[in-house]
Amino acid sequence: MYVGDDASRSPRLHRFLAEHARRLPYMTEARIRSAAAMTVDGRDEPASEELITAMGPGRWPYRIIDRSVDQRLEKHALLVAVRFWPHRTFTCFTPPEVLPVVDEERLPPPVPEATGPADLWWADDATAIEVTLNGWPPEQDRWTVRYFARTPRQAADANPTVYAAIGHETVPADWCALCSHDIAPGTTCPPVRDTNDRHRRGRP
């Protein structure tokens, strides 16, 4: 459970929490934070402001995925805001523990509040680019790159933009985890018909 009263959070996250979070009116953020706990070496400790998320799929080593609860929420709120837009998906490979090197001049402004150790975001009113770590076998890090555009015609800009901006081996993905279907290389996932249309109309 999480409450978003803090003015430091983005308007996007406030909208996301207002639409998706449930809150009991008598609960303050301080009470909820003090009730949060994490288990460390078998001991329960109060959750700190710098609560991080670690994932260790299979035999891969643990990795820090989010630098804070707020950043985790910010990236989720941004993905929810754009996920119904047409998009193209790529896979990028970097050496282990190396963040992708990106030429930001070719991209919309960065979104630092949503960006963390395993997620990079750039967005404006028309396009959004997400680079998210999806696997870290010992020999390399694998990143999913998604280019969201408000219109299918804009989505066609994905290939030249992504290939020019990302300085690592990058190839079209053959699977879209958002849509749960195979994608022919170089094609665009069409906009999703959301029963709740507000996500596609709103600002990213």
Query: Contact positions toward Zn ion, by CB under 5 A?
Result: 176, 178-179, 189
Nearer to Zn ion, 31 or 153 (CB): 153
Nearer to Zn ion, 80 or 179 (CB): 179
Smallest distance, Zn ion to C-beta of residue 176, A: 3
Smallest distance, Zn ion to C-beta of residue 76, A: 17
Q: How far apart are CA 164 and CA 172, in angstroms?
A: 14
Nearer to Zn ion, 33 or 200 (CB): 200
Q: Which residues contact 179 (CB under 8 A, 6 or more apart)?
A: 189, 192
- According to DSSP, residue 126 is labeled S
- According to DSSP, residue 188 is labeled P
Nearer to Zn ion, 163 or 175 (CB): 175
Nearer to Zn ion, 99 or 176 (CB): 176
Contact 168, 94 (CB under 8 A): yes
| CA dihedral of 14, 18, 21, 27, whole degrees rounded to 10 | 90
- According to DSSP, residue 61 is labeled P
Smallest distance, Zn ion to C-beta of residue 182, A: 10
Q: Helix, strand, coil shares of the chain as percentages rounded to 5?
A: 25, 30, 45
